[in-house]
Amino acid sequence: MPALEMLFSPGRLGRLETKNRLVMPPMVRNYTDEQGRVTPRYRAHIERIARGGVGTMILEASFVRPDGRGFSHQLGLHDDAVIDGLATLVEAAHTHGAVIGPQLFHAGRQTTSKVTGTQPVAPSAVPDPLMQEVPRALSREEIAEIVAAFGAAAARAEAAGCDFVEIHGAHGYLITQFLSPFTNRREDEYGGTPENRQRFLVEIVDAVRAAVSPDFPVIVRLSCDELVPGGLTPDDTIAIARRLEALGVAALDISAGNYASFTRGYMIPPMAREDGLLVPFAERVKGEVGVPVIAVGKLRDPVHADRIVAEGRADFVAIGRTLLADPDWPNKAREGRLEEINRCIACNQGCIARLFDQKDVWCTVNPETSREEVFAVAPKRALRITVVGGGPGGMTAARIAAERGHEVVLFERDDALGGQLFAAEAPPYRPGWRELREYLTREMERLGVDVRLGTEATAEMVRMTRPDAVVVAIGSSPRRPTIEVGPGAEAAFAVDILLGKRKVRSPVVIAGGGCSGAQTAEFLAEQGHQVTIVELTGAVATDAPPDERALLLERLAEHGVEIRTHTRVMRVDRGEVTVESAYGVETIPAATVVYCLGSRPNDGLADALRTTILDVRVIGDAVQARRVTEAIAEGALAVLGIERGVQRVGYEHDLALAAD
């Protein structure tokens, strides 16, 4: 059992002692009410994370004024009406020995008038390439008002009992917009020289310090490298860090990137990026200042995290998505239960992709996240639940049911558990799906689920298990194309190729350029095949999270994969495919055609079961082909629904789940 001594040694943030070196970094959840106030759901979420043993909790970016709001249901610190709700979060953290404080935030140009109700503001009228709305340049008077709003927000945090505040000077929001020549074109005392560009941040630090008690810890988050041409570099950031140290900040929280560089995959590193890729930035800053430094970025392994602190690369390690995936990560690590950790797989599907759609944050691998209140209600009695289908949705139903004390039988047609995760993990840069499959498979054993492999369950076999309820999670099958196929044509489904059941010959044409089509293209191109993707719409892989997509497209280009958009496959013959586009009808050489045209639900079993079993629930792709995130959420919700005898359980969003 690894000792992890450094990770679980006390840390210091100014006057505060923390129980360990683990930090929950700020993450907007979109769980508040319309006024940015804490809801019971939010409190339950924060309490659940605090219970898992993290030492320091930085609450999400909280807008100091309504014109600085970045997300529809983000925490606010703009009004005294938020204080009571915030105090409930403080109480939840303190009960479990964690220290807690919010991140003070103004979005500047990185928001839209849809969210704020007014034109976004910025140092200069330069639009953000992602949000695209032209902001209004702030006057000196308005700057002074915003500086004062940061101070007032800090005072509210202290009034609510918070232990510290963090100022959000990273990720391209208003403070970075002033700091960076990428966004600041001002010619007054707030623009031009580094000192002038730092003025806004320095005034905010002063205003915050003046608004709180003398030794109240103030942390600042910075993007060490903005990763855009003309943006802040590590050298610029070191100068800023030194200035902040001189101003007496308690710690520096070191991240990277802004919205313009988001798709480079640093700010919230996706599956294709390595663990700990931002640590060198924290290390660089730590080498130049004496204040404690927090490192962040895809830190998922306790031994790795401990080493970062032990080697003096950072004083604290922030684990953001890691805590959404498993709030008990700190306690499990401390107790040496590393095999039981449900790892964040960096899929970005459930969390940041939903947030950027202005939805509430979920976690693909942990359906309890966002639903802690519903999960907290214990079942009235132990039931017998039979699950058919051992993919991610079925295994999750089995896991949640077994964890909640039910007796579970799980049927799986194949000889191994995993379902479509096997195909998902086959392309390059997709290791997370394997991690999820292995975790869920381990859990089946740990929780004593009666797994019956190699068994295609019939209604009769299911009845023999005498279940109180059945969860049908039998997934989907690839959709057959409705095109003409000539004699001798060689065609295959993508899933069969990814699973090694079919071989292909070059050149290959992939019919259908969704995310799985694009990934299959990469899988084949890496093996040296010549690949063309034919896609009916105007772009490929649009169903992938944006950073994942950008990196995938880059790699496809490097492999020389040809992409034909606005093009329809008309027929497939031996050695060629006939396609139609705005340029007319033509043929493309194709020794093998790969169909990647979506999936249709596997149905049938549920109806047969319903004749004798009262409670039968169909989940995941067996309802409608969607992503793993939805399959897992529905697997968990099916169990809660069975316990309570209602068809759907949860928040409003869960009611709309099937239509999502």
Q: Which residues are catalytic?
A: 173
Q: How far is CA 174 from CA 129, 147, 363, 569, in A?
A: 15, 11, 28, 48
- Is 342 a binding residue for ligand SF4 by CB under 6 A? The answer is no
**Residues in 274-333 that interact with ligand SF4 by CB under 6 A:** 321, 324-325
**Residues in 551-580 that interact with ligand FMN by CB under 6 A:** none
Q: Cβ of residue 540: shortest distance to ligand FMN, in angstroms?
A: 25
Q: Cβ of residue 227: shortest distance to ligand SF4, in angstroms?
A: 20
Question: According to CB under 6 A, which one of 16, 28, 160, 639 is a site residue for ligand FMN?
Answer: 28
Q: Which amino acid is at 616?
A: V
Q: Which amino acid is at 171?
A: H
Decide whether 344 or 402 has the Cβ nearer to ligand SF4.
344
Q: How far is CA 232 from CA 180, 184, 268, 287, 514, in A?
A: 6, 11, 18, 18, 35
Closest-CA residue to 268 (of 200, 354, 328, 387) = 354
What DSSP string describes 296-351?
Answer: -SS---HHHHHHHHHTTS-SEEE-SHHHHH-TTHHHHHHTT-GGG--------TTT
- Name the binder of 507 from ligand FMN, ligand SF4, none, CB < 5-8 A by kind: none
Q: Cβ of residue 22: shortest distance to ligand FMN, in angstroms?
A: 11
- Is 633 a binding residue for ligand FMN by CB under 6 A? The answer is no
Question: According to CB under 6 A, which one of 16, 43, 57, 60 is a site residue for ligand FMN?
Answer: 60
Please list, in sequence order, all residues whose beta carbon lies within 8 angstroms of the beta carbon of residue 53, skipping any fewer than 6 positions away.
Answer: 20, 22, 96, 328, 329, 330, 331, 334
Scan for tokens 């030194």, then name that residue.
Answer: 242
Scan for tokens 């949000």, then name that residue.
Answer: 131
Question: According to CB under 6 A, which one of 20, 364, 396, 567 is a site residue for ligand SF4?
Answer: 364
Residue 233: HSE in the Cβ half-sphere, 13 Å Cα cutoff: 3
Q: Cβ of residue 77: shortest distance to ligand SF4, in angstroms?
A: 25
Q: 43-71 b/e with 16+ CB inside 10 Å = b? A: bbbbbbbbbbbbbbbbbbbbbbbbbbbbb
**Residues in 148-177 that interact with ligand FMN by CB under 6 A:** 168, 170-171
Contact segment (CB under 6 A) with ligand SF4 among 215-223, 341-349, 559-567, 631-639 equals 341-349
What DSSP string describes 541-608?
Answer: -TTS-HHHHHHHHHHHHHTT-EEE-S-EEEEEETTEEEEEETTEEEEEE-SEEEE---EEE--SHHHH
- Is 319 a binding residue for ligand FMN by CB under 6 A? The answer is yes
Contact segment (CB under 6 A) with ligand SF4 among 175-183, 344-352, 488-496, 641-649 equals 344-352
Scan for tokens 């993707």, then name that residue.
Answer: 533
- Name the binder of 170 from ligand FMN, ligand SF4, none, CB < 5-8 A by kind: ligand FMN
| Alpha carbons 73 and 58: distance in angstroms, whole number | 17
Q: Which two tokens stand for residue 483?
A: 């095109």
Phi, psi of 630 (to 5 degrees): -70, -40
- Name the binder of 298 from ligand FMN, ligand SF4, none, CB < 5-8 A by kind: ligand FMN
Scan for tokens 């997300």, then name that residue.
Answer: 71
Q: Cβ of residue 120: shortest distance to ligand SF4, in angstroms?
A: 27
Q: Which two tokens stand for residue 585?
A: 């009808």
Decide whether 59 or 518 has the Cβ nearer to ligand FMN.
59
- Name the binder of 622 from ligand FMN, ligand SF4, none, CB < 5-8 A by kind: none
Question: According to CB under 6 A, which one of 320, 389, 390, 507 is a site residue for ligand FMN?
Answer: 320
Q: Cβ of residue 6: shortest distance to ligand SF4, in angstroms?
A: 25
Vertex 617, ends 615 and 621: CA angle to 5°? 170
Q: Cβ of residue 351: shortest distance to ligand FMN, in angstroms?
A: 4
Q: Cβ of residue 296: shortest distance to ligand FMN, in angstroms?
A: 4
Using omega within 30 degrees of 0 as the cis cutoff, is the peptide bond preceding 120 cis? no
Q: Cβ of residue 71: shortest distance to ligand FMN, in angstroms?
A: 8
Q: 386-414 b/e with 16+ CB inside 10 Å = b? A: bbbbbbbbbbbbbbbbbebebbbbbbbee
Contact segment (CB under 6 A) with ligand SF4 among 309-317, 343-351, 492-500, 524-532 equals 343-351
Decide whether 19 or 171 has the Cβ nearer to ligand FMN.
171
- Is 321 a binding residue for ligand FMN by CB under 6 A? The answer is yes
Scan for tokens 């953290």, then name that residue.
Answer: 93
Decide whether 260 or 596 has the Cβ nearer to ligand FMN.
260
Scan for tokens 């208003």, then name that residue.
Answer: 174
Question: According to CB under 6 A, which one of 36, 302, 350, 546 is a site residue for ligand SF4?
Answer: 350
Phi, psi of 410 (to 5 degrees): -125, 120
**Residues in 248-267 that interact with ligand FMN by CB under 6 A:** 255
- Name the binder of 636 from ligand SF4, ligand FMN, none, CB < 5-8 A by kind: none
| Alpha carbons 517 and 92: distance in angstroms, whole number | 46
Phi, psi of 621 (to 5 degrees): -65, -20
Closest-CA residue to 306 (of 9, 7, 1, 8) = 7
List % helix, strand, coil for the chain (3-state, nearest 5).
Answer: 35, 20, 45
Q: Is the Cβ–Cβ distance between 294 and 279 less than 8 Å?
A: no
Give the per-residue contact string, 322-341, with ligand FMN (x = CB under 6 A; - = no): x-------------------
Give the per-residue contact string, 95-124, with ligand FMN (x = CB under 6 A; - = no): --------x---------------------
Decide whether 351 or 449 has the Cβ nearer to ligand SF4.
351
- Is 421 a binding residue for ligand SF4 by CB under 6 A? The answer is no
Q: Cβ of residue 175: shortest distance to ligand SF4, in angstroms?
A: 26
- Name the binder of 349 from ligand SF4, ligand FMN, none, CB < 5-8 A by kind: ligand SF4
Phi, psi of 432 (to 5 degrees): -60, -35
Decide whether 392 or 467 has the Cβ nearer to ligand SF4.
392
Scan for tokens 């931002």, then name that residue.
Answer: 278
Contact segment (CB under 6 A) with ligand FMN among 301-309, 351-359, 458-466, 595-603 equals 351-359
Give the per-residue contact string, 171-210, with ligand FMN (x = CB under 6 A; - = no): x---------------------------------------
Q: Cβ of residue 422: shortest distance to ligand SF4, in angstroms?
A: 18
Where do contacts with ligand SF4 occur on this chain (CB under 6 A)?
Answer: 321, 324-325, 344-351, 363-365
| Residues at the contact surface with ligand FMN, assessed by CB under 6 A | 25-28, 60-61, 103, 168, 170-171, 221, 255, 268-269, 296-299, 318-322, 351-352, 355, 361
